[in-house]
Amino acid sequence: MGLSVTEAFSTLVMNESEAEAFVVQLLREMGPLTTMQIESLARDEHRRCPDQTVLFLTKMRRKGLITGEASLEKRGWLWRLP
């Protein structure tokens, strides 16, 4: 039997390593992105980070996986690969 509409479009909460790989791949393919852009791209793929996105990205920054800086032009945090 097939999946219901709700099951087919439910959001997958990624574990920490999946989410880190997802964010690194996005930044590698698309270049610097804002928190909102990362959230939107994850939502388009029915995925979300294990924590609030900005908290998760901050944890990744502390680990040295990505860098982040406040951007007045983008009106938020801009994330990139180191």
Q: Assign 46 a pLDDT band (cuts: 50, 70, 90).
A: very high
Q: What is the mean pLDDT of the segment spanning 38-60?
A: 93
This prediction has a pTM of: 0.83
Tell me how far apart the alpha carbons of residues 56 and 49 are, in angstroms, rounded to a whole number. 7
Digit-coded pLDDT (tens) for 21-34: 999 999 999 999 99
Please state the domain extents for the chain. 13-80
Q: Is the pLDDT of residue 3 over 70?
A: no
Residue-averaged pLDDT of the chain? 89
Q: What share of the chain is helix, strand, coil (3-state, %, to 5)?
A: 50, 20, 30
Q: Is the pLDDT of residue 2 over 80?
A: no
Residues 6+ apart with CB under 8 A from 4: none
Higher pLDDT, 43 or 9: 43
Report which of residues 17 and 3 the model is more confident about.
Answer: 17
CATH 1.10.10.10 assigned to 13-80: yes
Residue holding tokens 């990139």? 80
